[in-house]
Amino acid sequence: MKTVEQKELNEHKKIKESEKTSIREGSFFGVMEGFGVRYITPYALALGATNLIVGLISTLPGFLGNLTQLYTTQLIKKKSRKSLVFFAILMQALLWIPLIFVGVLYYFYPAIREYLPWMLLTIYSLLIIFGSSAGPAWNSWMKDLIVKNSGKYFGIRNMIVNMVTIISMLIAGFILTFFTNGKVLIGFFIIFFIAFLGRFISSLLILKQYEPRFTYDDASYFTFRQFIKGMLYNNFGRFVFLVSAMSFATFLAGPFITVYILEDLKLTYFQFTIISVSSVLSAILFLPLWGNFADKFGNIKVIKITSLFISLIPLLWFFSIYLNMLPFLAFFSFLIFIELFAGLVWAGFNLSASMFIYDAVTKQKMMFCIAYFNIINSLGAFFGAVLGGYLSSNYPHFFGVKAVIILFIASFILRLLVALFIQRGVREVREVKKFKLDEFIKNIEKRFLGMLSGYKSMRVENF
């Protein structure tokens, strides 16, 4: 019989192997993200979607997917987390095929074209629903696997996933540009098929990961209604509310930036890709730094800092409207700068928001808290996008002012208000080092000076 030490050693080995496998699995998710998800809005516009449908595509699938988590958290009583995640991801992969078929119908049946954006919304909603339904089980599973330095691990994992995403987006942009002249849907068929392959391989890699023993604890269960009732009276509840409010303020204008770039500015698909890739590239560069910073100084500190800067993003897009008269290279560079800045601050905010849940919630309650957080957060995004889509579709001008300008200003004001409430509304739940701005700036200076001089011994661990 194996000794206790041998069993612990074997489990430790399995966990370490699973950490590596999870990064590979995430990389193939990045293929789906870069070739598929990132081009859904351009695909919808190519099929003739209105701003309202664009807003719905950006948020309704996520909201419905998160709503299903109320059901999937109960399935864990009967099914293993691995089997639930595998089935959900496999179904998500297969749904890319009927998504391609919508474009085929556009080619051969012009009489039904006005209905195809709604068909796209339906199929894409199912695709996202299956992916989202795996969330509680996957997060609970990862909570067992990644016990120490979760910020560092997920910072590195997200950096690699984003690197794959950015390469995938660039290749997809080349493909779409090649098929621009009246045949762009053929380009979409190709990149979406690659997205299918990426997610299919991802589902197979899920089967290779080790799942630690898990016991469902009925005593840890609490209903969604109970969570809502006490949400504003506890620290985690206020965190959920404020992050969801930020999502509302963000999606009021966020989904329509793609419409603004492709239809108002008339940029090409490849130029759109370069702009979009900029935010992912920025996230890749700064995710490890944010992860280490959060491990040392706390996730709430990162959220407080980044939320203030996030409010500036729509203001920068607002200024871009009036800089259109600049030489194209200067104007295009400004758009790239906006996305570089957005990637920097959103990388820290999103990483720390997810890691704060890991810190604030026990293993037994992880599934429910993740599900409830996702539902409320996606609900905020949904209402923001629907309101923005309705206003921009039905009232393209307000007293002679374009709706997109109003949306950018409104998003800036609302984001700033939420950021100010975040400063006092939530607190850290674990012991962290006291943050000193001057030390932080010195570390940043050292890192970039080291990078410029080729100083090889500067490591992320020393940040």
* 8 A C-beta contact, residue 270 and residue 177: yes
Residue 403 has pLDDT above 80, yes or no: no
In a domain, 239, yes or no: yes
Would you say the C-alpha torsion 342, 301, 153, 94 has a positive or negative sign?
negative
Query: What confidence tier does 346 reach under pLDDT thresholds 50, 70, 90?
Result: very high
Kindly state the tokens that stand for 389: 């889509």
Token reading at 312:
């500036």
Q: Is position 1 within any domain? A: no
State pLDDT tens for residues 211-249.
777 666 666 677 788 888 888 888 888 999 999 999 999
Rounded Cα distance, 212 and 81, in Å:
10
- Does 104 reside within a domain? yes
**161 part of a folded domain:** yes
Q: How many CA atoms lie within 13 A of 351 on its CB side?
A: 33
136, 157, 145: which is closest to 374 by C-alpha?
Answer: 136
| pLDDT grade for 456, boundaries at 50, 70 and 90 | very low
State the amino acid at position 48 in one-letter form. G
The tens digit of pLDDT for each residue in 14-53 reads: 777 877 888 899 999 999 999 999 999 999 988 988 888 8
Q: Which among 350, 390, 351 is positioned nearest to 252, based on CA atoms?
A: 390
- Taking the C-alpha atoms of residue 291 and residue 288, their distance in angstroms, rounded to an integer, is 5
Whether the per-residue pLDDT at 140 is higher than 90: the answer is no
Burial class (CB in 10 A: 0-12, 13-18, 19+), 235: middle
- pLDDT recorded at residue 463: 23
The whole model's pTM is what? 0.75
> From residue 383, how far is each of 138, 201, 301, 418 by CA, in Å?
27, 34, 28, 16
Coil vs helix vs strand at 397: strand
For residues 276-285, average pLDDT: 85
Q: Is residue 408 part of a domain?
A: yes
> Under a CB-based contact definition with an 8 Å cutoff, are residues 224 and 373 in contact?
no
How many C-beta atoms surround the C-beta of residue 451 within 10 A? Answer: 10
Whether 212 is in a domain gets the answer no
pLDDT more than 70, % of the chain? 85
pLDDT at 426: 83
CA 333 to chain centre: 24
Number of structural domains found in the chain: 1
pLDDT reading at 417 higher than 60: yes
Residue 8 lies in a domain: no
Does residue 354 belong to any structural domain of this protein?
yes
* CATH code at position 114: 1.20.1250.20
CA distances from 95 to 61, 191, 207, 406 (A): 13, 14, 20, 36
Residue-number span of the structural domain to which 163 is assigned: 16-207+221-448
More confident residue, 251 or 210: 251
Q: Return d(Cα 294, Cα 348) in angstroms, integer.
A: 9
